[in-house]
Amino acid sequence: MSRTRLHPAALLALTISAALPAPALAHIVNGEAVGFVSGFLHPVSGWDHIIAMVAVGLWGAQLGRPAIWVLPVTFPLVMSVGGFLGLIGLRVPGGEIAIALSGLCLGAAVALSWRPPLAIAAVLVGLFGLFHGYAHGVELPPGQNALLYSLGFVLATGMLHATGVAIGLVHRWPWGRWALRAAGVAIGCGGAVFLWSALA
């Protein structure tokens, strides 16, 4: 009797479909925190957040051990502190400017291949993470399942960092180092555009 094996791609599709439940709801729930998917999509909804988070991963990969994992661990933790402050209603001025600056500064750090002591890099990344988290925390809507929303939110942030780290692994090759610097320039330019918008 021959055994039928499920193709990995089919298995992956099955997993994704199971992970994306579509509950039948009697009311429109646009903007409400209904679960994992809403939380997962929130951090990837704005390019100002995306470029900064990817830049953290790129910079960590450029700096090597232990920054390659310290920076991506620092960012979500401090970001959640910022989210907590935003959720409890604390007012932090200049959030949009700080977020735009994060893209500019982290892009510049990658472009210049800046190598500060680990503590300085962690504090810088943590400071920017605080503002990113605060902006998300202020925007978070009341929902029905805060835990799944929070998990999706943190997971998406972590995966953006992991994407940056994975791309940053090209740093081992000479062409990769130049490519990373070019990516840093692109991120810095993006940050400058967002800064211009925030100041305008």
Partner 1 sequence: MRRRFTATAMAIAALLAPGLAQAHLVVTGMGPIYDGVTHFALSPEDSLPVVALAFYAGLRGPGSSRLLLAVLPSAWFVGGLLACLSGVALPPTALPLATAVVFLAMGGLLASDLTLSTPYHAVAAIAVGLVRGAADLGGAPAEAGSLLDLAGMCVAAFALFALAVSVTLPLKRFWMIVAARVAGSWVAAAGLLLAGWILRFGAKVQ
Among 45, 47, 64, 69, binds partner 1 (CB under 8 A): 69
How far is residue 6 CA from its own chain's centroid?
33
Q: Taking the complex as a whole, how short is the minimal distance between the CB of residue 194 and partner 1, in angstroms? A: 24
The reply on whether position 11 binds partner 1 by CB under 8 A is yes
The reply on whether position 150 binds partner 1 by CB under 8 A is yes
Q: Taking the complex as a whole, how short is the minimal distance between the CB of residue 102 and partner 1, in angstroms? A: 18
Radius of gyration, CA atoms only, the chain: 19
Nearest in space to 98 (alpha carbons), one of 59, 137, 50, 134 = 134
The reply on whether position 178 binds partner 1 by CB under 8 A is no
The reply on whether position 54 binds partner 1 by CB under 8 A is no
Among 35, 57, 95, 184, binds partner 1 (CB under 8 A): 35
Question: Residue 33: beta bridge partners?
Answer: 143
The reply on whether position 1 binds partner 1 by CB under 8 A is no
| CA 138 – CA 195 distance, rounded (Å) | 20
The reply on whether position 45 binds partner 1 by CB under 8 A is no
Show the tokens assigned to 117.
């002591």
| CA 82 – CA 129 distance, rounded (Å) | 7
Find the binding residues for partner 1 in span 105-144 (CB under 8 A): 137, 140, 142-144
The one-character DSSP state at 118 is: H
Q: Quick one: angle between helices 47-63 and 118-139, nearest 10? A: 160
The reply on whether position 166 binds partner 1 by CB under 8 A is no
- Alpha carbons within 13 A on the beta-carbon side of 143: 20
The reply on whether position 28 binds partner 1 by CB under 8 A is no
Q: Taking the complex as a whole, how short is the minimal distance between the CB of residue 143 and partner 1, in angstroms? A: 6
- Three-class DSSP category at 33: strand
List contacts with partner 1 (CB under 8 A).
5-6, 8, 11-12, 14-15, 18-19, 21-23, 33, 35-36, 69, 72-73, 76-77, 79-81, 83-89, 137, 140, 142-151, 153-155, 157-158
